[in-house]
Amino acid sequence: MNANDSPLPILYIDETILVINKPAGLPTLPDGYDPAAPHVRSLLEPHVGRVWIVHRLDRDTSGVLLLARTAEVHRALNSQFDQRQVSKTYHALATGSPAWTSKTVDLPLRADVGHKHRTVADPARGKLAVTHLRVLERFTGYTLVEAIPETGRTHQIRAHLAAVGHPLLADALYGSPHAVEKPPLMPRLALHARRLTIEHPVQRTPLHFAAPYPEDFARALDELRQADG
């Protein structure tokens, strides 16, 4: 087992946890329609041994992903997530220009709606969902937004941004008007898990992880800056 030969970029590893910068396009767990297709565990385990998934990122979301290396640590980390002791920060390229600089969206969300299995705002039947949004940079037609979710609902950031009228760039599921633009500014939905803060499950000290932008996200930002320059 040699972590140096890992096919995925490792941000941190010790005897208890593993943190990677997950590339876009790779599912966290096996695909129900194609169980043999590569996923995070299948690529990592030949190099680092067995790992347990602590939280998920959508297939097309890149960035910081935490994994446990023992069942006991997995339980401890799950408890941190359940008790909202974990801080997660995402960067998103949203369409349009919000009228606000910062905003907290607390629309309840209901998952798995309709034949497209979308998550929708539903004040009557939805579950508590809170996302803190902050504008980082504005461009013509787009905005770089920081999103900090307090809760962990399916597609929470995507659904909340769509609900306030600023769906993610290239997010066809939630109604982005630029989802099929040609040539595409982004080949996939523009969401990146930028930072994660946890308490080490054994040492009980805070750990902070940050994932650099992948090439497609960085290139899209450069193109937008140049266009506005």
Q: What is the CATH number of the domain that holds 182?
A: 3.30.2350.10
**Domain tally, the chain:** 1
pLDDT at 107: 96
Catalytic residue annotation: 58
Q: 209, exposed or middle or buried, with CB in 10 Å at 0-12, 13-18, 19+?
A: buried
Q: Which residues contact 28 (CB under 8 A, 6 or more apart)?
A: 22, 39, 40, 53, 56, 57, 59, 65
Confidence of residue 178 (pLDDT cuts 50, 70, 90): low
- Residue 158 lies in domain: 3-228
pLDDT in tens, 3-31: 667 899 999 999 999 999 999 999 998 87
Distances, alpha carbon 207 to alpha carbons 29, 148, 210, 215, in Å: 24, 17, 10, 26
Q: What is the pTM of this model?
A: 0.93
Averaged over 108-120, what is the pLDDT? 88
Asked if 39 contacts 85 with a C-beta cutoff of 8 angstroms, the reply is no
